[in-house]
Chains A and B, each alone.
With several copies, the nearest count.
Chain A
Amino acid sequence: MAEATTTTRLKKLINSPESEVKDALAGMAAAHADLLRVEYDPNVIIRKDAPKKGKVGLVSGGGSGHEPMHGGFVGRGMLDAACPGAVFTSPTPDQMARATKAVDGGAGVLHIVKNYTGDIMNFEMAAELARAEGARVNPVITNDDVAVQDSLYTAGRRGVGVTVLLEKIVGGAAEAGYDLDKVTELAKKVNANGRSMGMALTSCTVPAAGKPTFDIADDEIELGIGIHGEPGRERTKMKSADEIAEILTSTVVKDLPFKRGDEVLAFVNGMGGTPLIELYVVYNAVNRYLSKEGIKISRSLVGSYITSLEMAGTSITLLKLDAETTKFWDAPVHTAALRWGV
Chain B
Amino acid sequence: MTVSTAQLASWLERYAAVIAEHKQYLTGLDAAIGDGDHGINMDRGFQAVIAKMGPVRDKDAGTLLKTTGMALVSTVGGASGPLYGTFFLRAGTALDGKIEVADKELVDALEAGLKGVIDRGKANLKDKTMVDALTPALERARARLGEGASIADALSAAAEAAESGMKATIPLKALKGRASYLGERSVGHQDPGATSTFFMLRSLHEAVAEIPQGARTTTG
Contact = CB atoms under 8 A, between A and B. Distances in A.
Interface string B35-75: 11100110010000000000000000000000000000111
Contacts of A91: 77
A88 B79 CA distance: 12
B121 A206 contact: no
A111 B40 CA distance: 26
A278 B144 CA distance: 54
Contact of A89 (B73, B78, B176): B78
A209 B31 contact: yes
A111 B1 CA distance: 48
B74 A206 contact: no
A310 to B, nearest CB: 15
B81 interface: yes
A19 interface: no
Interface string A90-130: 11111000000000000000000000111001101100000
Contacts, number: 116
A158 B34 CA distance: 13
Given A118-B81, A121-B82, A206-B40, A88 B35 contact: yes
Interface stretch (B91-99, B149-157, B178-186, B205-213): B178-186
Contact of B79 (A3, A92, A117, A229): A117
A153 interface: yes
Interface string A66-94: 00000000000000000001111111111
A206 B182 contact: no
B36 A206 contact: yes
Given A121-B79, A121-B83, A158 B181 contact: yes
A154 interface: yes
Contacts of A206: 35-37, 40
A149 interface: yes
Contacts of B82: 93, 118, 121-122, 124-125
Given A213-B36, A228-B35, A153 B175 contact: yes
B4 interface: no
A155 interface: yes
A230 B73 contact: no
Interface string A134-167: 0000000000000111000111001000000000
B72 to A, nearest CB: 9
A118 B175 CA distance: 14
Nearest to B78: A118
Contacts of A332: none
Interface residues of A, number: 37
A295 interface: no
Given A92-B74, A92-B76, A93-B74, A117 B178 contact: yes
- Residue from B37, B76, B120, B183 with most neighbouring chain A CB atoms (10 Å): B37
Interface in A317-335: none
Contact of B178 (A122, A125, A208, A230): A230
A154 B124 CA distance: 11
Interface in A200-230: 206, 208-209, 213-214, 226, 228-230
A231 interface: yes
A90 B77 contact: yes
Given A92-B81, A118-B78, A125-B82, A229 B35 contact: yes
Contacts of B135: none
B27 interface: yes
A42 interface: yes
B44 A230 contact: no
Contacts of B24: 3
Given A117-B177, A155-B177, A230 B34 contact: yes
B121 A89 contact: no
16 contacts: A86-B37, A90-B81, A116-B79, A117-B177, A118-B82, A121-B79, A121-B82, A124-B120, A209-B27, A213-B35, A213-B36, A214-B31, A226-B35, A229-B35, A230-B35, A230-B178
Interface of A: 3, 42, 63, 85-94, 116-118, 121-122, 124-125, 147-149, 153-155, 158, 206, 208-209, 213-214, 226, 228-231
Interface of B: 24, 27, 31, 33-37, 40-41, 44, 73-83, 120-121, 174-178, 180-183, 185
Q: Lowest 10 A-B CB distances belong to which pairs? A: A228-B35, A121-B82, A118-B78, A118-B79, A154-B180, A117-B79, A89-B77, A89-B78, A208-B40, A155-B180
